[in-house]
Structure 1
């Protein structure tokens, strides 16, 4: 593999959306057997001082899976998924849709955020198995479950079992788009209703009175869970076990169609998604405001966070950044040849200091410093086509 441009130092920051119980002992003296176990210990994993980002890629023609460690620049094979056509992640596990099934890969990198401190882990990557699922995959997890949505329904995957290499799956009746949030599951149905279920898929003790017509796009942020609807977004927040819903309608006379999906740095509360053929929508969850940015046709987009740039890859292969509140263009760089219409579109994946854009036509991935006028930090020449790409370790 060839590298172009100077490597950057290993990342020292962190981002995480996994919620976990606190680590403290409340001042009580730990039992002798517990004191022998280091704080944060996870059997079979190594705790590290820094987040362990991995770019997980699939060559759709060959049906092969690959992982790139940006810190060491090492590329490793991660197995095969014949017929792979799409990829999503819940932060640790990557899910590869093959048309009639979903191949599950444990990438062996993840973060646990305890609020006042964070743990980073790495372990051996391994293929776990196959789950049912067909088309338009979405995955959102908490420590107990991963909610996997697809065109043929919603499935709840037992997360602790998955971490042990076992697939324990429960189907949810009725289909829809699901999010794991607030120790419950939110399922937006095609008829516009939003059901609240427990982690076993049964009706929970609360309901959501608001409707979400034509649900599309979902995200979990530090300010709540968001579901895209044809008339705006539905924001769900949780306080001491109680769920509250709030509508964020599109601006009057917006002149653009509804958002089709949300992309963002994991946990960040600014979201971006394509809006028709002429631009993107940016949703600032904290401000409860939408901004329509006229970018021209967007091949890919993602948002870095509050007061941070929104990135858009245009049909001409140029990467541009925009201010999320005003829509003002901040910088641009000619990144790749026009991607074209054949095969999966490139994606933009953002972590705490870098963005990554896969370039299937060039068999490469570009690393971008989005805080330095979209400076091209490195290009990874891979020797295979990274048609699909997700980032794990969060």
Structure 2
């Protein structure tokens, strides 16, 4: 009897809601769904390569090894990336935006990996770019332009605001940090002023986001901006009595490291490398000889140093000891760069039109060499 009564109630309830049920209901997208992209089970690592001679820009898919021609850009001067997009610097203060078609979304406790077709998005005024999930900040001599990140992912360049600034602006922690006048100003993602950091940042240069916070490269040291405020890490070694750099030529070059890593490295003068441990808040000097390119691969992982004689070295950032070395290029100059992810490193070789893949956890073993029909003058890795 109770079962029959329950069935009757369900039927009556269904009749009573028939009119409402006829109204179309918008489908709920599955978790991780991205329109126009394919979700995959592994990172979609790709190299964006630019030929300074011809202006040709290509994307090399590191899984399929397919090379895709994407754009032709006049007067290529350099290239940076934000994990998905490559920004090709050219013609003074212009950035050509290239969607590499490979990226990772970090949801905190898990990751999503996506792939789509590479494409040329267009040009924006500026020299540097950095992004978070909501905004892309493009920095140049005219200040900072904020672009709608969602629109950029759809292939549209849509400026939402502009703020004054002289250095690389970083979106971090749902705020925007902008070097200006020897200080770092704070703005909302919409560009509204929200104060200034107490710690100064004279002569700002580069900036990078790590898992411990945002790091600004200042003349007197690294400025770390984290959840507990801002703190300066002066340019000095761990040795007692070491003085900060006082001469302009002694200042370390631009900091480089695997994305998100808390260890960063920079060329420091003619004979060595400086390593910044963001967690320990300390610098260390490696006496490597003349350096063409350097990057750090993470905590408890080697610093990779390519010396000008074409030899690739790995160094232990903790002990300062050399771990391995291998001859990789005939020679190396400032066109060569090292890009690293959790398992491999990539070194462009413009002289022979190739890119070398290195297993840096296995004695610098050369895993693959990609031979190209163009010169890879500039290179960045995306999809990580």
Q: TM-score, with normalisation over the residues of structure 2? A: 0.88
Between the two structures, name the one with larger relative contact order (CA 8 Å, sep ≥ 6).
1
The Cα offsets for residues 205-251 of structure 1, whole Å up to 9 and x where unpaired, read as: x431010111122110011010111221110002xxxx611111122
Looking at structure 1, the residues matched to 257 and 303 of structure 2 have their Cα atoms a distance apart, in angstroms, of 9
Looking at structure 2, the residues matched to 245 and 34 of structure 1 have their Cα atoms a distance apart, in angstroms, of 45
Q: Which structure has the greater CA radius of gyration?
A: 2
Deviation at 1:176, TM superposition (A): 2.4
CA RMSD of aligned residues (A): 1.7
Residue of 27, 30, 34 corresponding to 1:38: 30
Q: What corresponds to 1:19 in structure 2?
A: none
Q: What corresponds to 2:13 in structure 1?
A: none
Q: What corresponds to 1:377 in structure 2?
A: 367
Looking at structure 1, the residues matched to 147 and 309 of structure 2 have their Cα atoms a distance apart, in angstroms, of 40
1:249 aligns with 2:240: no
Farther off after superposition, 180-189 or 363-372: 180-189
3-state SS, counterpart of residue 38 of structure 1? coil
Structure 1 residues 290 and 350 mapped into 2: Cα distance closer, same or farther (>3 Å)?
same
Q: TM-score, with normalisation over the residues of structure 1? A: 0.85
Deviation at 1:359, TM superposition (A): 0.4
Q: What corresponds to 1:226 in structure 2?
A: 215
Residue of 209, 213, 216 corresponding to 2:198: 209
> What is the correspondence of 1:1-394 to structure 2 with a 5 Å cutoff?
36-100=28-92, 101-133=94-126, 137-169=127-159, 170-189=161-180, 191-204=181-194, 206-238=195-227, 244-251=229-236, 252-253=242-243, 257-340=250-333, 345-394=335-384
Deviation at 1:284, TM superposition (A): 0.6
Looking at structure 1, the residues matched to 315 and 270 of structure 2 have their Cα atoms a distance apart, in angstroms, of 17
Name whichever structure is richer in helix by fraction.
2
Asked if the contact 2:276–2:284 (Cα under 8 Å) also holds between the matched residues in 1, the reply is: yes
Asked if the contact 1:291–1:326 (Cα under 8 Å) also holds between the matched residues in 2, the reply is: no
Residues paired across the two proteins, number = 351
3-state SS, counterpart of residue 250 of structure 2? coil
Question: Which structure 2 segments of 5+ residues have no match?
Answer: 1-23, 237-241
Deviation at 1:262, TM superposition (A): 1.1
Looking at structure 2, the residues matched to 114 and 216 of structure 1 have their Cα atoms a distance apart, in angstroms, of 30
Deviation at 1:122, TM superposition (A): 0.8
Which aligned runs of 4 or more in structure 1 are off by greater than 6 angstroms?
none
Looking at structure 2, the residues matched to 173 and 188 of structure 1 have their Cα atoms a distance apart, in angstroms, of 9
3-state SS, counterpart of residue 160 of structure 1? helix
Looking at structure 2, the residues matched to 347 and 49 of structure 1 have their Cα atoms a distance apart, in angstroms, of 29
Question: Which structure 1 segments of 5+ residues have no match?
Answer: 1-31
